[in-house]
Each structure stands twice: as structure tokens, then as C-alpha cells.
Amino acid sequence: MRRTTALRTALSAALLIGAWAGAGFPSASAADTPTGSSSTAPASDGLLTAMQKDLGLTASQARARLSAEKTATALQPKARHAAGASYGGSWFDPATGDLTVAVTDAEQAAAVRATGAAVRMVTHTEKSLDSVKAKLDKLDAPSGVSSWHVDPRANKVVIDVVASRQSDNDVQAFVRKARETGPVSVEKTTEAPKTFSAGTVGGDPYYTGNVRCSIGFSVYGGFVTAGHCGQAGAGVSGWDGSYIGNFQGSSFPGDDYAWVNVGSGWWTVPVVLGWGTVSDQLVRGSNVAPIGASICRSGSTSHWHCGNVLATNETVNYSQGAVYQMTKTSVCAEPGDSGGSFISGDQAQGVTSGGWGNCSSGGETWHQPINEILNRYGLTLHTA
């Protein structure tokens, strides 16, 4: 994008407003380090309107939820530390506005409550459940198995299978082997997951070859996006066909992340595009939102949509291979949205990887957590 073009063009070239498009599947670890801090700026009218539409809230309910989620996000690491080795996971409860922490040791419960979090006693620690999931990651999953993740609320590892394939012999064999590893439950999903890249079409995308994807977040020197959108060395052009840069690193499957350097008149800004649905959103950090928190996505095909965080540390079984440590959401997405931004409040969460469904009938979408991408490539998130 050239600096002499209109403001809308400038923003898109800015690369990035980071956010415009895409789909991305990455993985994240508990050791990921967040960037920046949460803003005290009030939510925009556009964001509140989007939450009312997609989450069925009133304006006052949306404001109250954002405030409670901000408190829970800040509380999460403190409560985890208080739980110590008995930590069994945590999640945000929209009904009460509380962060709930699962613990296995009653003696640690008081310390967790002292932080302000609610407590639920469970049998299994997060560490033991992560061990079970790690064993499943080593199994050869058939295409009828969609994904699996540690669910702190169920205190089990949950396997999602495609409903129409649940009776397949290979699916049943996988489930039997999974149950031998530890506490496992099975749930049904409608469709198998797929990535959300697309062939070349008009709009505000970026292109590599004949593939269209979306920008995730601006980093100093470039932007992050989905790994399935291009291999290292591949050239990238903007919505207007002008050259942006090249994929400097890319990983897929296993992970689903990449980063692209920026030059040739393009530059970076700490913004996620609102597509006229909401005002463009400033990015102020990358603190991880808890399970249950609201989250929104920006992409070049379906633009701006919101939903909830459903699960973390999920393994997604794409046809190209498994991708680990993904975050699952109830936000819809469509082809071309791959690589685009997932944001909670003003905190960057990840880049769109894939999912199932669409934004007419609904569906679920996974994102690659942003902090793992930053750590992997030594990048610094561009923040306001």
C-alpha cells in the first residue's frame, strides 16, 4: 500500500492493522510470555455492538463482561501460582463473572480463594491431564477424529469425533486406545476441521501464489499469520498487488504459524481492522484470556465476529496432519480468513488456523496462540 492512497488503503497497507485476514493454526505453551499490559481505555461502541449481536448481550451486560474478563485475565497467573502443584486448570464463568480454579489439594484451596478466585475441587491435576493428552498426541488419529484437548471443567481429556464417523472401526480403535491412557471422554462434532485459506479473489487480503489469507498482528519488522498460507521464502503481495515482503519463517503442520517481513512502502501499526462493524481496535498486549472469556476475530472474508474461548491446548487433526496446543473458539470463519487476528478486549490472542462451518450457519474456529509465535521467532508485538 502506498502512503499517497486513501486512509482506508493506508490502514490496510499498514499492514496491518494487523488483522485483517486469515486463518491460522498455532500451538501454545504454559511458558508463553505475554506482551504488554491491559488498557484502561473503555470499550468502543462498535465492540459493544458486536458483542451484543454475536453473544446475545445488552450493552450494559457487554460492558460488565469485559470488565470481569479483564479482572479474570489479570488474576489467572496469580491464582495458578497459589494453587501450586495441585492446579487443575481454570476458566471464566460468564454467569458469575468469576475466575474458577480447579485444585486437587484442599489445603491449597484457601490460598487460591485468597487471590479472589473461586475454587472447584477435582481429582486430576492439569499436569497429569497434560500427560494423558501427550500420549494421545503420539497416536495415529483417523480422519473421523476431529480434535482432543484438556478440559479443566470436566477434569478430563475430551476427544471430539465427527458424528457421522463415530461408528467407524478406526475411530473406535482410537478411542479405545485413548481410554487406556487415563480419564478420557468423547463428544461429537458436526464436521471435520479444515484450514481457511482460499484462492485469489478481490477484497483486502494478502496473497502468496494463488492463495489468499489474512494478516494477523503487526510485529516490529513485519506481521504474523498462519503457517499453512505459505512456506519460508515465498513472496507476499498486498490487496493492491504491490509487493510486501517474504515469509521469513513458517511451520505447518505440527504448528500453524508464520511471519512475513514488511517493506516496499508498507509499514506496521498496532491495530486490528474492524471492517466498519466495529471501530478499528488498538492492540495493547498479549495477556491470555481464560476459557469462557469472550473473543473476537477479524478476517478478510467474513470480517468481524465474536464468540467465546471454548478450550486451550487442543490438538487439531487436519487432513494435512495434526497441529498441537491450539485454542478453540465458538467464533465462525470462512475461506480466506486464515491467518487473521483473534483479540480479546485489547489483548492479542492468536492467528486464525481453521475450523468447521461458516458465518451463516455457525461453527467453531481454532487459533494459534500469539505468544508462542513471538517466542519461536524472537519477535516483538507492535502495541499501542
Catalytic residues, which ones?
228, 256, 338
CA distance 356 to 23: 12
Cβ–Cβ under 8 Å, residues 64 and 97: yes
Residue 89: which region, alpha, beta or left (left: phi > 0; alpha: psi -120 to 50)?
A: left
β-bridge mates for residue 159, sequence order:
148, 186
Please give the radius of gyration of the chain, using alpha carbons only, rounded to the nearest integer: 20
User: Cell 484438556 belongs to which residue?
Assistant: 150
β-bridge mates for residue 7, sequence order:
none
Q: What count of Cα atoms within 13 Å lies in the side-chain half-sphere of residue 149?
A: 29
Helix residue ranges, H only, 95-228: 106-114, 126-137, 169-179
Report strand pairing: 156-162 vs 184-189: parallel
User: Which residues lie below 8 Å from residue 171, measured CB to CB, with a gap of 6+?
Assistant: 142, 144, 145, 161, 165
Q: Which is nearest to 55 in space by CA: 292, 281, 272? A: 292
Q: Is 53 exposed, middle or buried (0-12, 13-18, 19+ CB in 10 A)?
A: middle
β-bridge mates for residue 291, sequence order:
91
